[in-house]
Amino acid sequence: MQLTDKLIVLADAAKYDASCASSGAPKRSSRGQKGLGATNGNGICHSFTPDGRCVALLKILMTNFCLYDCQYCINRRSSNVPRARFSVDEIVRLTLDFYRRNLISGLFLSSGIIRSNDYTMEALVRVARTLRVEHQFRGYIHLKTIPDASPDLIRQAGLYADRLSVNVELPTSQSLNRLAPEKSDTTIRLAMSTIRDGLDEATAEPRAPRFSPGGQSTQMIVGADDTDDHTILGNVQSLYGDYRLKRVYYSAFSPIPESPSSVPLIAPPLLREHRLYQADFLIRGYGFRADELLTGPGNLSLDIDPKLAWALNHRELFPIDLDQADMYMIARVPGIGITSAKRIETLRRERRIRYTDLTRLGCSMKKLAPFITTQDYRPRQAGLERQALLAQMQTSTPAQMALL
Amino acid sequence: MTMYTLHMAQADFVAWRDNARRLLAARVSPGDVLWQDDDSAGDLFASGDTDLPPPSETPLALKLSRQHLRRLECASHYWPTHQQECRWALLYRVVWRLAQGEGEALLAGDSDGGVVEQRIKAVNHEVHHMHAFLRFHQQPVTPEEQHAPEFIAWFEPRHDVLEAAARHFIDRMGQHRWLIMTPEGAILCDGRQWHIERPESGTFTVQDYQALSTMEDDAEDLWLAYYASTFNPARLNEKTMVRSMPSRFWRHMPERVLITGLISHARHGARRLGQDSRLADKRGHTITLPK
Ligand code: SF4
């Protein structure tokens, strides 16, 4: 098979994994040196495809031959897809050629499971080692970890990769048992602990060998089973706490060819995925707890974002006075982000806050209007019934990503 | 009231700083200075630079932290449109107000500070665009041409970001020799040293660049194969693509030739599945487990 054909097969096979951020690497430079590549911690999106997703890394599988039969996966052994396998040199060549042309910031490599877990993991590590050692490649490398591989191989992967990730795949262990019978929640979590321990050691002991400086992340498929957002967010919150995860990625389940009857054949729930990302961001960045965002079973509202939904459920806390309120509360106002909250705090050390300041800070005025007061502004809607406000907000929410 | 006119020969923050210092010392208020960018249409009433008045008996002086200076310099790299205020006038009003004790003048919530902040954001964003969307083309280099660049790129930035953005490529490209050309200047790096070349008159044009470029680069075909295949038609969302990758950059990106085709293909059915349709017709095979 020609290299181009392999690339088509193995990029198509890899594209359902959304966890391809290229951030969190330490500062590296090749200025005037042998070798190639630099990182500075920030990811770069070198292109966008018409699905609106960022192309930051060369995202491919080493092979899409796979012994497992995960129902949601296009590469499962019972799937009738063309199969291919890259050699180490082919992956290295593609990575370096694309990198030199500034098409990518690095490599995101994963694989179907062939022969054995260790055999597969070792092959992935070999690619990373060849890039780092032989070619002195200093760009980004993200390796997907095979959960059942031996801890020793995971350690080796951490020497070369900027980020390691193990996918939890599905929101609950019941779903995993049902849809990915060869996988086990226990081994997935063991692999995540191995990575966490490696990260802990590397931070605690400055002379410890380098270990995945960009941390670890995971991905969860949404919409392949019927778990609700309440369960998802609860589980996600414990994942963040237990494994020092940088990020949890949500991937709306995309229909696959010859879809088995165990998974739905429907358009990917993109808006739901979007709401989960927003909720996740509130948990990581704003100190929200999962049970504040969804107090009982069910899904996040698709009509309004989770921060606005929370504020509407807590009308008794608002409006708040921007000259007096805590930073923590200001950041909880719909339409005001963390950065703006900090800027409000700096500005009010100089003088009192005026309503127009908020426009200049780039806040979303429509959203915040009912929730704040300033010396020159009081909300008119303060007396409005919660429902009336909700209706008003809904009509003013811009259309989100369209579904089919 | 005397009006003072100052010509700024080029994007020269150091020259502006010098002038600003002297203006503050002479207590010349912002309304009495006319700053002229070299490229701005000449004011009919302005002639050459006016001599600045001598320092006042109670001169204003201003100590700025390094961070504040850096912010001002960054904002000075913004190229205003014709309706927008001249960058030097804005910056002078900011330092004038700071010198009067108005600490808020550089804060994002302030009317001037807000504009400075917007300009900094726009400049940084453009640096980021250049890091992201610039494309190098490999050039065939014979042994006799040991100094010719191996990788060349053309880019049209919206603000004065050539130098700021180039540092990233110096870090990235190791000992490769490369050239990035923009209308206002070109940056050349031989793998050790780099320098900026300005056009002798006017600007560099894309034709100047094309004259350097001699050949098709075959890695581009691989890239196109990859781009189409990593696209998931089931998630079609053009709006987000265009918002994240403004179309003004497409002209010099190889994938531009694919975009409309992929979109219309997705609209006409391919959207039902995520799989690349080039694979759907190919023979596949299932895998039997070894005993
Ligand atoms: S292990 Fe499962 S998810 Fe991974 S490639 Fe194989 S079938 Fe797909």
pLDDT band at A403 (very low <50, low <70, confident <90, very high): very low
Share the mean pLDDT of chain A: 90
**Predicted pLDDT at B276:** 79
How many angstroms separate the CA atoms of A32 and B191, rounded?
5
Cross-chain Cβ contact A360/B110 below 8 Å:
yes
Percent of chain A past pLDDT 90, that is, above it, reads 74
Alpha carbons within 13 A on the beta-carbon side of A284: 15
Backbone phi and psi for residue A242, each to the nearest 5 degrees, phi listed first: -80, -30
Cross-chain Cβ contact B226/A11 below 8 Å:
yes
Q: Note whether A342 and A363 are within 8 A (CB).
A: no
Q: What is the mean pLDDT of residues A306-320?
A: 90
User: ω before A319 within 30° of 0 (cis)?
Assistant: yes
As to burial, measured by CB atoms within 10 angstroms (0-12 exposed, 13-18 middle, 19+ buried), residue A79 is buried
In Å, how far from its chain's centre is CA A176?
20
How many angstroms separate the CA atoms of A150 and A249, rounded?
25
CB-CB: which of A52, A53, A360 is closest to B108? A360
In this complex, is the C-beta atom of A43 within 8 Å of any C-beta atom belonging to chain B? no
Residue type (1 letter), B14: V
pLDDT in tens, A35-87: 999 998 888 999 999 999 999 999 999 999 999 999 999 999 998 899 999 99
Q: Hey, what are A112's tokens?
A: 């179907």
Alpha carbons within 13 A on the beta-carbon side of B257: 6
Contacts B104 to A, Cβ<8 Å: 347, 350-351
Residue type (1 letter), A282: L
What residues does each domain of chain A span? 3-215, 306-403
pLDDT in tens, A13-33: 999 988 777 888 989 999 989
pTM, entire model: 0.90
Which range, of A49-53, A315-319, B86-90, averages the lowest pLDDT?
A: A315-319
**Predicted pLDDT at A401:** 41
In this complex, is the C-beta atom of A9 within 8 Å of any C-beta atom belonging to chain B? yes
Element (H, E) at A284: helix A270-285
Which range, of A98-102, B149-153, B251-255, B281-285, averages the lowest pLDDT?
A: B281-285
Q: Note whether A62 and A85 are within 8 A (CB).
A: yes
Which range, of A3-12, B17-26, B47-56, averages the lowest pLDDT?
A: B47-56
Indicate the DSSP class of residue A169: B
How many angstroms separate the CA atoms of A116 and B123, rounded?
51
Say which residues have a Cβ less than 8 Å from residue A89's Cβ, sequence separation at least 6.
none
Q: Which residues pair with A29 in a beta bridge?
A: none
Count the neighbouring beta carbons within 10 Å of the beta carbon of residue B218. 10
State the helix-helix crossing angle for B13-25 and B87-99, rounded to 10 degrees.
40
Give one DSSP letter per residue of B169-185, joined into a string. Answer: HHHHSTT--EEEEETTE
pLDDT band at B47 (very low <50, low <70, confident <90, very high): low
Q: Hey, what are B201's tokens?
A: 């008159």
Disruptive mutation site among B104, B107, B288 for chain A (greatest number of A CBs within 10 Å): B107
pLDDT band at A402 (very low <50, low <70, confident <90, very high): very low
How many angstroms separate the CA atoms of A305 and A271, rounded?
10
Predicted-complex ipTM score: 0.90
3-class SS of residue A104 = coil
Say which residues have a Cβ less than 8 Å from residue B232's Cβ, sequence separation at least 6.
A15, A16, A49, A51, A53, A254, B274
Per-residue pLDDT at B41 exceeds 50: no
Measured in residues, chain B has a length of 291
Per-residue pLDDT at B237 exceeds 80: yes
Say which residues have a Cβ less than 8 Å from residue B161's Cβ, sequence separation at least 6.
B77, B123, B126, B127, B130
**Predicted pLDDT at A397:** 43
pLDDT in tens, A375-393: 999 887 554 555 456 656 6
User: ω before A26 within 30° of 0 (cis)?
Assistant: no
Count the neighbouring beta carbons within 10 Å of the beta carbon of residue A204. 8
Chain B stretch 92-111, residues whose beta carbon is closer than 8 A to a beta carbon of chain A? 103-104, 107-111
Q: Hey, what are A268's tokens?
A: 């990917």
Q: Note whether A236 and A189 are within 8 A (CB).
A: no
Backbone phi and psi for residue A59, each to the nearest 5 degrees, phi listed first: -105, 105
How many angstroms separate the CA atoms of A372 and A163, rounded?
41
